[in-house]
Amino acid sequence: MGPPARIDDNIVEAIGQSNLVRLNKIPLLLAAKNENDDTITPPTPAEVVAKIEFTNPGGSVKDRIAREMIEDAERNGEIKPGVHTIVDVTSGNTGIGYGVVAASKGYDVIQIIPEPYSVERRALMMALGVKVLVSNKKDGMDGACKIHREVMQKLGPDKSWAPRQFDNPGNIKAHFEHTGPEIWEQCGGKVDAIVAAYGTGGTLSGITSYLRSKNPNFKCIAVEPMEQSLLNGDKPGPHGIQGISPPFLPTNVRIEEIDEVIRCPTSEAMKTARALAKEEGFAVGISAGANAWAASQVANRPEWKGKRIVTIFPSAAERYMSTELYESVRDEATNLPLSTFNPGTVIEGQSKFEMHSLASHKEAGTVFRPGFKVL
């Protein structure tokens, strides 16, 4: 069953109320893969449930924070439609979220996206009317931030607004007031931990704060790329899991709330993302693969038997077709040969497709609705 049936007044009202879905195969598959490890006790892992955030209108969890930050600013009198342009640095998904909300409310949007992120994200933003500026990958996040400052200066304070998603309290608020309560209600009050990566930190921090207010024993387990674990004291460096772990610790990452960190190799994130599609029907992005892999590691610890772990599937597969995650599938699909048929083939007991025309309907005596016409 999905969320309650209703007619929303606009696309912004359709944000949130995503489904929570049990993972039935992946935790067991990952346990079987490690069956020689005496810390693994298949087939009795903890239950893993995933919040399916790619069902939001813009296709990701970031729709939630885009709505919250913009509506907070409206309530505070900071911005007005048709007056202020929304300017931010994004890896893509938040920029798409801004585009969804802004199109409905009447704002212009300019987003700066660093070069390595997928072209699909750029295209989706542009389809929503967002002006996209691409920063050079050699300049890193610092280069994107410098372009951001220049755009803000050019527009002036009376015409521009920077949400600053990495430290905007509305980011955490969106998940404390909405996502967290949704999970609590969907779980009937039985949920023991969240295992999830952080980007800006809002999802992990907001959900943890709310669920820990309901269950003081609730655990928060953060996921970072093996190649760059800032919470382990690593220096910033490149990694292959788009959308998580920027090269700094955002203000919205509440380190004091985190109980443990699991480092996920990029290769495992990609393999798990592909397995989620083929084994369970979740066509997801790279970070969802990292989350599912890490959640399964926790679920297969003997001491977690009987507990329920929630994780997040932030976005869907479509915006990763140009990346390493799905490039082989894309190339294979592009080069599929045309299938042919033998005109003389007759298959016993199978009739051919009926192909009708308006004339054939009239000949067959089809009775049309009174007043039927084509305008």
Instruction: Give dist(CA 267, CA 286) in Å, integer.
Output: 10
Q: How far apart are CA 89 and CA 145, in angstroms?
A: 7
Q: Which of 51, 62, 105, 307 is labelled catalytic? A: 62
- The candidate with the shortest Cα–Cα distance to 144, out of 109, 114, 110, 111, is 114
287 a catalytic residue: yes
Q: Note the Cα 280 to chain centre separation in Å.
A: 17
Partner residues linked to 261 by β-bridges: 222
Q: Which amino acid is at 308?
A: R
- Cβ atoms of residues 291 and 313 within 8 Å: yes
Cα of 76 vs its chain's centroid, Å: 28
133: tokens are: 């500026």
Give yes or no for a contact between 269 and 184, defined as CB atoms under 8 angstroms apart: no
* Of 287, 296, 307, 315, catalytic: 287
My answer on whether omega of the bond before 43 falls inside 30° of 0, hence cis, is yes
Alpha helices in the chain (DSSP H): 26-33, 62-75, 93-105, 119-127, 140-155, 169-174, 180-186, 202-214, 266-275, 286-299, 327-334, 358-363
CB 286 within 8 A of CB 28: no
Structure tokens at 1: 């069953």
The four Cα atoms 70, 208, 261, 284 give a dihedral, to 10 degrees, of -60
Q: Are 314 and 96 within 8 A, CB to CB? A: no
Catalytic residues: 62, 287
